[in-house]
Amino acid sequence: MEVGLNHYLVLAAAVFMVGMVGFVVRRNTIVMLMCVELMLSAANLVFVAFSRELGDEAGHVFVIMNFAVAAAEVAIGLAILVQIFRLRRTVDADDLTTLME
């Protein structure tokens, strides 16, 4: 069976779902950030798959943009986490409910 666009789309959907479940279930904020990375990775896969399907490299450019955005997100997110840890001595999402109260 020849591998086509649909295979990649199904795989990307599965990976995105795994990341989404992880984001909801895990309470360690660092692992939650990693789950976001996994979801971004699934989106990248869809970009490249459609790029291949349509024979147009524009999708590759968007993936490079996504890399930069992901790097920025990780840098800021982890900096915030480090500061939260300094103040509260925890990165457990269940304990960080100051805004909710």
Q: Which of residues 17-76 bind another protein (CB under 8 A)?
A: 17-22, 24-28, 30-31, 33-35, 37-38, 41, 44-45, 48-49, 51-55, 57-58, 60-61, 63-65, 67-76
Name the percent of the chain in helix, strand, coil, to the closest 5.
75, 0, 20
- Rounded to a whole number of angstroms, the minimum distance from the CB of residue 98 to another protein is 16
Amino acid at residue number 34: M
- Rounded to a whole number of angstroms, the minimum distance from the CB of residue 101 to another protein is 19
Q: Nearer Cβ to another protein, position 68 or 100?
A: 68
- Rounded to a whole number of angstroms, the minimum distance from the CB of residue 66 to another protein is 10
- Of 100, 99, 86, 84, nearest in space to 29 by CA: 84
Q: At what angle do helices 29-54 and 5-25 cross, to 10 degrees?
A: 170
Q: Binding residue for another protein (CB under 8 A) from 14, 88, 98, 100?
A: 14
Q: With binding defined as CB under 8 A, does residue 88 bind another protein? A: no
Handedness of CA 30, 33, 35, 41 (dihedral sign): negative
Look-up of token digits 């920025």: 72
